[in-house]
């Protein structure tokens, strides 16, 4: 996919997959990488269920032993 002038879909505002991949490879210019960082921070705050805290999870139950 060819890179466009923006990292985000014009209709949905979602990060385009090609930019996600370039971001993960470290191939984006500093300004574009910062825009992706800002987007990821907003998404993490907007949907905390997508990234649950380990502290909020219950510990695993201990296995039961039969006598």
Q: Residue 39 is part of which domain span?
A: 17-50
Burial of 19 (0-12, 13-18, 19+ CB in 10 A): buried
For the stretch 9-44, pLDDT in tens is 989 999 999 999 999 999 999 999 999 999 999 988
Residue 32 lies in a domain: yes
Q: Does a structural domain hold residue 8?
A: no
Reading the block at residue 25, the tokens are 């490879």
Answer whether residue 42 is part of any domain.
yes
Confidence (pLDDT) at 55: 45
Which pLDDT does position 14 carry in this prediction? 92
pLDDT, position 30? 92
CB neighbour list of residue 5: distance below 8 Å, 6 or more residues apart = none
Looking at the 3D structure of the chain, how many domains does it have? 1
Asked if residue 44 is part of any domain, the answer here is: yes
Q: Are 44 and 51 in contact (CB under 8 A)?
A: yes
Confidence of residue 54 (pLDDT cuts 50, 70, 90): very low
């Amino acid at each position: 996919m060819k890179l466009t002038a923006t990292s985000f879909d014009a209709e949905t505002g979602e990060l385009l997959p090609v930019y996600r991949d370039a971001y993960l490879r470290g191939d984006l210019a500093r300004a574009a990488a910062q825009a992706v960082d800002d987007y990821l921070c907003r998404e993490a705050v907007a949907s905390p269920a997508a990234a649950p805290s380990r502290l909020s999870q219950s510990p695993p139950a201990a296995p039961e032993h039969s006598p």
